[in-house]
């Protein structure tokens, strides 16, 4: 692929990842994230020429694409990338959240998407050193394998409800902490629990309604979205309240779920 084609692939997979996240399709989103990283690594292999060309995405019509390009280029063209991220962070939605988180990691010194490479050869004290490379997309430590369906079937309903409460709260905290891998693993577990409750019948599902009053906003948002298929009045009430009053990703997620529900495109978990 030419450099221009790699830049286009970066943009396409960024947009596709965002669309998958809004559909609640974490698996597809992860695939596009890995393909975006692969495109960046190929651009990076061409040195600053590849990085310079990626900067054309700072003017892309999609905000999420502009933000992602700026996130990857914070070291290479710091002032320009920061300007893009600061502007996007002033808005609302997922791109604004990602922009603000990227700026925070940059200021904290924990940003590692494109570190300076150290050439292989001899170090300052004569020792042989290997080239330093950028970390892989899944640099976070892997969580344990998700709980199997057979294990969920053995749990009482009360325990499934408690797992929903704790996992939905932890998932939102993981997302805010910039740990999407952890958040995706918890998403998969929550979906598996929801399917198990559905399989046990409407009375099992209705026990979720108690979580609509949970003090954790992430739990309320997840539960309200989940109950829309069998208790739309209760779910819509909570989502509307969160959309009006909750800040950040919770408020955005609630507003998106409401819009999808009104449009008839909200898919059951």
Domains of the chain are 3-108 (1.25.40.70), 149-263 (1.25.40.70)
In angstroms, the first-to-last Cα distance of the chain is 38
Determine the pLDDT at residue 93: 64
Q: What is the per-residue pLDDT across 94-127, written as a single tens digit (0 to 9) for each?
A: 677 778 878 888 888 878 788 765 433 434 444 4
How many helices, marked H, and strands, marked E, lie in the chain? 13, 2
**Per-residue pLDDT for 193 more than 50?**
yes
Over range 141-146, report the average pLDDT. Answer: 35
Of residues 198 and 101, the one with the higher pLDDT is 198
Whole-angstrom Cα distance, residue 172 to residue 247?
Answer: 13
What lies within 8 Å, CB to CB, of 142 at 6+ separation is 181
What lies within 8 Å, CB to CB, of 23 at 6+ separation is 267
Determine the pLDDT at residue 66: 94
What confidence tier does 85 reach under pLDDT thresholds 50, 70, 90?
Answer: very high
The residue behind tokens 């960046």 is 40
Determine the pLDDT at residue 118: 40
Angle between helix axes 94-108 and 3-23 (nearest 10 degrees) is 120
Whole-angstrom Cα distance, residue 102 to residue 13?
Answer: 19
**Per-residue pLDDT for 141 more than 90?**
no
Residue 195 structure tokens: 């399917």
Determine the pLDDT at residue 126: 41
**Per-residue pLDDT for 242 more than 80?**
yes
Whole-angstrom Cα distance, residue 1 to residue 7?
Answer: 10
Whole-angstrom Cα distance, residue 242 to residue 176?
Answer: 17
Above pLDDT 90, what percent of the chain?
50
3-state class (DSSP) for residue 128? strand
């Amino acid at each position: 692929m030419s450099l221009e084609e790699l830049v286009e692939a970066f943009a396409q997979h960024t947009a596709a990842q965002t669309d998958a996240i809004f559909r609640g399709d974490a698996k597809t989103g992860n695939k596009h994230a890995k393909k975006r990283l692969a495109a960046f690594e190929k651009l990076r292999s061409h040195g600053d020429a590849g990085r310079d060309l990626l900067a054309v995405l700072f003017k892309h019509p999609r905000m999420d694409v502009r933000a992602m390009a700026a996130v990857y280029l914070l070291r290479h063209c710091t002032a320009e990338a920061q300007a893009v991220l600061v502007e996007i962070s002033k808005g609302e939605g997922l791109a604004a959240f990602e922009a603000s988180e990227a700026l925070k990691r940059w200021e904290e010194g924990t940003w590692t998407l494109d570190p300076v490479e150290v050439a292989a050869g001899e170090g300052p004290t004569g020792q042989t050193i290997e080239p330093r490379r950028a970390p892989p997309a899944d640099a976070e430590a892997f969580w344990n394998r998700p709980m199997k369906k057979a294990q969920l079937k053995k749990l009482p309903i009360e325990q499934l409800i408690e797992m929903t409460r704790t996992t939905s709260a932890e998932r939102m905290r993981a997302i805010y902490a910039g740990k999407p891998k952890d958040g995706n693993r918890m998403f998969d577990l929550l979906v598996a629990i929801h399917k198990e409750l559905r399989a046990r019948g409407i009375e099992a599902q209705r026990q979720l309604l108690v979580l609509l009053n949970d003090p954790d906003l992430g739990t309320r948002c997840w539960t309200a979205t989940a109950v829309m298929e069998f208790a739309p009045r209760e779910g819509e009430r909570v989502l509307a309240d969160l959309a009006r009053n909750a800040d950040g990703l919770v408020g955005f997620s609630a507003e998106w779920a409401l819009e999808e529900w009104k449009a008839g495109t909200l898919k059951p978990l």
